Amino acid sequence: MPKKLVWVFSKRYIAGETLEDGINAAKMLNNEGIDVTIDLLGEFITNLAQAEENKNKYLEIIERFSNEKIQGNFSLKPTMFGLLVDQKICYNLIREIVAKAADKDSFVRIDMEDSQCVDPELVLFRKLKSEFSGHVGLVVQAYLRRTLDDLTNLNNLPPNGHPLNFRLCKGIYIEPAHIAFKAFEEVQSHFLEDLEFMFKNNIYTAIATHDKYLVDEAYKLIEKYKVPKDMYEFQMLYGVTPELRNSIVANNHRMRVYVPFGNEWFGYCTRRLKENPKMASQIIKAIFIRG
C-alpha cells in the first residue's frame, strides 16, 4: 500500500511527527483525566550513530515533558538504541535515559519486542531495576509461551523498596507456533492467567488491552483480589477504542494512553495493519469519505 495512503490511516493512531505534536496530544488527554506514556517512534536501527541520536532525543523529550508538567511517563524500544548491534552500548544509552527520568522523578518502561529480543531485554531490565528500582518497568506479552515462566522468575527479584511494574499486552509480532500461542481464545486465556499471577503477587499491573472481554474479566479479578487502585491501571493505544477507554475512566479506573509520535511512523502503523487487517477498510473509507 502506498505510503501516502497509510498516512491517511496513521493520523488517527499517532500524535504527529514532532515533539510539539506529542506534547499537544498529551495535554489534551491530561485534560480528560487520562495519563500518558510517550513513545518516540523508531526501532531496529542498523548503526550506533542512530542510537546516540535517539538517546539525545529522549533526553530532550523527558526534559520538555517534565517542564510542561504533563502527567505521564515514557516508553522505549531497546532496538532503537542498538540492542541487536551492541548490547553494552545499548544498555549504557538506555541507562542514561532512565537516570534522566529518575532525576525528574519519572518512569521509563522497556517495551518488549520480538522473540529474538526477549532474553537480552530481560537482562537489560534486571540491571536497570537493581539501580533504578521505582523508575523502570517492563512489558510482557501474553501470547508468548514463555511469559508465565518469565513472570515467575522475575518475581524473585529483590523489591528494593518498590514493587515490580509490568505492562501486560497480548503481543503483536509475528512468531512461529512453537514460540507463541496462535488461537485468539488461547491468547485471551493466557492473558488472564498472567494477569491473575500478577495480582496474586502484588505486581503493579498495567492492563493493556482493547478487548472488552478482557476488560470485563480484569474487573472481576480486581474485585476478587481486592487490588488497590494504586496497584493497577488500564492502558490503551492512542486513537484506538475511545468509547471503551471512556467507559473505563467513567468507572473510576486509572487510564494511561500510549502516545507515539515521530518521523518513523510507517513501521509502527504497518504493524498495526498486520495485527488487525480490518483496519485497512478504515483507510479506504477515509480516502473516499474524507477525500
By three-state DSSP, how is residue 134 classified? Answer: helix
Asked if 48 and 87 touch (Cβ cutoff 8 Å), the reply is no
Report the C-alpha gap between 235 and 210 in whole angstroms. 9
Residues contacting 156, CB < 8 A, separation 6+: none
Positions marked active-site: 111, 167
Cα dihedral sign, 174-203-207-83: negative
Termini Cα distance of the chain = 17
Residues contacting 196, CB < 8 A, separation 6+: 221, 225
Asked if 10 and 289 touch (Cβ cutoff 8 Å), the reply is no
Report the C-alpha gap between 61 and 43 in whole angstroms. 17
Instruction: Report which DSSP code applies to 81.
Output: G
Residues contacting 210, CB < 8 A, separation 6+: 236, 237, 240, 241, 244
